[in-house]
Amino acid sequence: MGDLEKLVRQHQELRPSLEVVDVYKMLYQGVFGVQHILHSKARRILEEEMSALETSEFRKEPLIESISIDNLMVRINLRQFKMRGLSSDDLYLAMVRSARERKGTRKAFLRLWNQFESAVKAGKLNFKRSSLEEFRKKVKKESFPPYHHSERYRRLYRPAYRIVKSEVFKKIFDID
């Protein structure tokens, strides 16, 4: 089993209703990081989201989830982050540093996306081929932009996370 297949299966185990668009988003984030959401309001939005979060939900979510086959980029699940009493100011700092350091390329993203498509078509990953083809046509026409999670994913899992480089996060938070 390839690294991409392993990564996708790990996410399917955590969230069995993962759809093609959700894998696309994960791969996109794993290559490009957080740059597309790091704007003037990002810090305020993080603070607002942290204060509104219910930590009693999704207790089995890990604090850190790898989203790239090289394990360089990770999602920091905010419910776990909040439960541990960690600093949102430091998380924002990790986001900024990660954005400075991570400069993904369209070529790298498309290579991963094509690997994902090949694995699905070969029956190595359990996704509907028709859904894959439909989504692929849509994103190709739109020149492969960032996407939101599927409606089903948002409803079932209420994603609340931030994307950072693993080593930056571990350095700032002194986590091995």
pLDDT single digits (tens) 131-154: 999 999 999 999 999 999 999 999
pLDDT of residue 172 exceeding 90: yes
Question: What's the confidence (pLDDT) of residue 101?
Answer: 80
> Residue 75's CB: how many other CB atoms inside 10 A?
22
Give the number of domains in the chain: 1
Question: What's the confidence (pLDDT) of residue 100?
Answer: 85
Question: What's the confidence (pLDDT) of residue 2?
Answer: 67
CA angle 58, 60, 63 (to 5 degrees): 95
Nearest to 82 by CA among 52, 44, 104, 111: 52
**Domain of residue 164, residue span:** 3-173
Give pTM, 2 decimals.
Answer: 0.93
Average pLDDT score over residue span 63-89 = 95
> Residue 41's CB: how many other CB atoms inside 10 A?
10
